[in-house]
A and B are shown apart, each in its own frame.
Chain A
Amino acid sequence: MRFIFAGFGGQGVMLMGQILAYAGMIEGKNVTWMPSYGPEMRGGTANCTVVVSDEPVASPVVDKAETVVAMNIPSMIKFQNFLVENGYFFLNKSVIDREPDKKEDIKIYKIECNEIADKLGNLKVANMVMLGAVIGATKIVSKESVFKALEKKLTGKKAELIELNKKAIEEGMKKVSEQ
């Protein structure tokens, strides 16, 4: 399954992709994580591509994706046409106040990531709310694997944030189960 995570720099889109890739690796799957870097990052969107597969990953470069996560409007516009039929389109409703042009033959999930994160007490976990929604809807990896990935990734001083991130994941999963 091919994923694109996109948003403003600072919204944690790179980490979202890394945690997903890590969780896939924990489950014994083949994964790649590829960031955008350089001048294209300065144009409004930072993005990364993740491939999670039972087979060895050939191309880490994708021009079609089963899942697109847009944390802001420019990302929604830029990547909506990457979606394949029956693909998943996740939109951060807190920031995106309009409809995507692409609506046919895909599943759209609108999540108020910022509000939910705010209620948890830290706006920074908006990305993990969204990641919770992504794994809840796509079932690509289990919640437990994502938790393990968080424990691996958040070390040192960041370790105190693990619980909060886990809660954010759970809130995101709850949100898609209601939709």
Chain B
Amino acid sequence: MEKVMVKGTEAIGEAAIRAGCRHFFGYPITPQSELPEYMSKRLPEVDGVFLQTESEVATVNMLYGAACTGTRVMTSTSSPGFSLMMEGVSYMACAQLPAVFVNVVRGGPGLGDIQPAQGDYWQATKGGGHGDYKLIVLAPATVQEAVDLTVLAFDLADKYRTPTLILADGLLGQMMEPVEFPEFRDLSTLPDHSSWAMTGAKGRKPHIITSFDIDPYILEKMNLELVKKYREIEKNEVRWEEFKTEDADIVITAFGTVARIAKSVVEMARKDGLKVGLFRPITVWPFPYEPLKKLAEKVDLFFDVEMNMGQMLEDVKLAIGGEKPVAFYSRMGGVVPTPNEIYEALKKEFGRRE
């Protein structure tokens, strides 16, 4: 298929449609409004439904309703908007409803600003909403990967009957890059949800989809079912990328946009004869603890770089287990670190330990 140049937000939209998504509910918020705008134009062309809701709370509950029918459904938002959806996300996780969320993260906390940031890592991977639940969280670093992971997000949501999340940021959303889109999925080949979905109960027992049971012993059974599912996901769905780690003395850990910038830092360091590599989680949940732990056996220093106060840093340290030092560099508030800036910080850290 021919390559086309598209913005990250539009790429996610088109990928969703090709994956068989025919329902989109959303409320505008910068820097991702191009995505609902794109869907408002494209979905009617494929007999889909685009609906601009009155709020993010309405959005998530419309997703809940649509997902109950087994259809592929999606929304996108940015940080404060995702916070507003948290109650519904927790309900959907409990009710085991497949749906895809996109959070194009901006500077926070609070109203923050509209520039790229990664401050929602904890919210995305450690809960965010109430209760014991997890989301499968995919963190693309290029526009092509945003396309590929969007399709994957729908497939995983269906496979595990769980909400999934694309964790992007304003930079990836706004930039353009050539991409190759996958073929359109034949809707009749999508997973069959007739065993649990609301498809009309004529001639069969009604299906009940709920996130509630007043009996703690029954609710605990529901909890255990979720836990079993999450263990399964941890076993099967861990994804990551390693770049020039084979002989690396120093490994940069980073996700999303920052990982991409860090790749340039690796190249710069290699030119100067420094053996630097990059470890990039693609699924930030489930986090690639084991591969990172394995890497720690031969690496002298880890250098975690994020656009937040050190959120993934906790998982990196958990993986490495105190065996090796982990230094940290960060920019916040929507400031994007440049390659030279990261490289200078890395050299300083390396020099301090030599």
Task: Determine if chain A interacts with chain B.
Answer: yes
B-contacting residues of A (Cβ < 8 Å)? 18, 21-22, 25, 30-35, 37-39, 57-64
Whole-angstrom distance between the Cβ of B211 and the nearest chain A Cβ: 38
Closest 10 CB pairs of A and B: A58-B263, A63-B338, A59-B264, A58-B264, A33-B176, A59-B261, A34-B175, A25-B178, A38-B114, A63-B340
Q: Does B267 contact A (CB under 8 A)?
A: yes
Q: Does B242 contact A (CB under 8 A)?
A: no
Other-chain contact of B260, A30, A33, A58 (Cβ < 8 Å)? A58
Contacts A58-B263, A59-B264, A61-B339 given; does A34 touch B174 at CB 8 Å = yes
Contacts A18-B176, A38-B31, A38-B113 given; does A61 touch B171 at CB 8 Å = yes
Q: Does B219 contact A (CB under 8 A)?
A: no
Contacts A34-B174, A38-B115, A59-B264 given; does A18 touch B5 at CB 8 Å = yes
**Which chain B residues in 322-353 approach chain A with CB under 8 Å?**
336-341
Contacts A61-B261, A63-B340 given; does A21 touch B5 at CB 8 Å = yes
Q: How far is the CA of A62 from the CA of B337 in the complex (A)?
A: 10
Closest to A149 in B: B5
CB neighbours (8 Å) of B263 from chain A are 58-59
CB neighbours (8 Å) of A33 from chain B are 5, 175-177
Q: How far is the CA of A61 from the CA of B115 in the complex (A)?
A: 14
CB neighbours (8 Å) of A32 from chain B are 175-177
Q: Can you offer 28 A-B residue contacts whose CB atoms are under 8 A?
A: A21-B5, A25-B5, A32-B176, A33-B5, A33-B177, A34-B174, A35-B175, A37-B114, A37-B170, A37-B174, A38-B30, A38-B113, A38-B115, A57-B177, A58-B260, A58-B261, A58-B266, A58-B267, A59-B261, A59-B263, A59-B264, A59-B339, A60-B171, A61-B261, A61-B337, A61-B339, A63-B338, A64-B340
Interface string of B30-49 (1 = CB under 8 A from A): 11000000000000000000
Given contact pairs A35-B175, A63-B339, enumerate 19 new A-B contacts (beta carbons under 8 Å): A18-B5, A25-B178, A31-B177, A33-B5, A33-B176, A34-B174, A37-B31, A37-B114, A39-B114, A58-B261, A58-B263, A58-B266, A59-B261, A59-B338, A60-B175, A60-B260, A61-B338, A62-B338, A63-B338
Q: Does B3 contact A (CB under 8 A)?
A: yes
Whole-angstrom distance between the Cβ of A179 and the nearest chain B Cβ: 31
Q: How far is the CA of A61 from the CA of B175 in the complex (A)?
A: 10
CB neighbours (8 Å) of B337 from chain A are 61
CB neighbours (8 Å) of A39 from chain B are 113-114
Closest to B340 in A: A63
B176–A21 CB distance below 8 A: yes
Q: Give the one of A31, A34, A59, A64 with max B CB within 10 A.
A: A59
Whole-angstrom distance between the Cβ of A56 and the nearest chain B Cβ: 8
Interface string of B159-171 (1 = CB under 8 A from A): 0000000000011
CB neighbours (8 Å) of A30 from chain B are 178
Q: How far is the CA of A121 from the CA of B176 in the complex (A)?
A: 31
Other-chain contact of A31, B113, B178, B267, B338 (Cβ < 8 Å)? B178
**Which chain B residues in 2-39 approach chain A with CB under 8 Å?**
3, 5, 30-31
CB neighbours (8 Å) of A60 from chain B are 171, 175, 177, 260
CB neighbours (8 Å) of B3 from chain A are 25
Q: How far is the CA of A120 from the CA of B30 in the complex (A)?
A: 38
Q: How far is the CA of A130 from the CA of B340 in the complex (A)?
A: 29
Q: How far is the CA of A57 from the CA of B141 in the complex (A)?
A: 11
Q: How far is the CA of A39 from the CA of B115 in the complex (A)?
A: 9
Q: How far is the CA of A62 from the CA of B340 in the complex (A)?
A: 9
Whole-angstrom distance between the Cβ of B172 and the nearest chain A Cβ: 9
Q: How far is the CA of A16 from the CA of B277 in the complex (A)?
A: 35
B113–A34 CB distance below 8 A: no
CB neighbours (8 Å) of B171 from chain A are 34, 60-61
CB neighbours (8 Å) of B266 from chain A are 58
Q: How far is the CA of A38 from the CA of B170 in the complex (A)?
A: 10
Whole-angstrom distance between the Cβ of A119 and the nearest chain B Cβ: 31
Q: How far is the CA of A165 from the CA of B182 in the complex (A)?
A: 33
Q: How far is the CA of A25 from the CA of B31 in the complex (A)?
A: 25
**Which chain B residues in 230-281 approach chain A with CB under 8 Å?**
260-261, 263-267
Whole-angstrom distance between the Cβ of B76 and the nearest chain A Cβ: 17
Q: How far is the CA of A64 from the CA of B338 in the complex (A)?
A: 9
B341–A63 CB distance below 8 A: yes
Closest to A33 in B: B176
Q: How far is the CA of A46 from the CA of B137 in the complex (A)?
A: 33
CB neighbours (8 Å) of A35 from chain B are 174-175
CB neighbours (8 Å) of B31 from chain A are 37-38
CB neighbours (8 Å) of A62 from chain B are 338-339
Interface string of B86-119 (1 = CB under 8 A from A): 0000000000000000000000000001110000
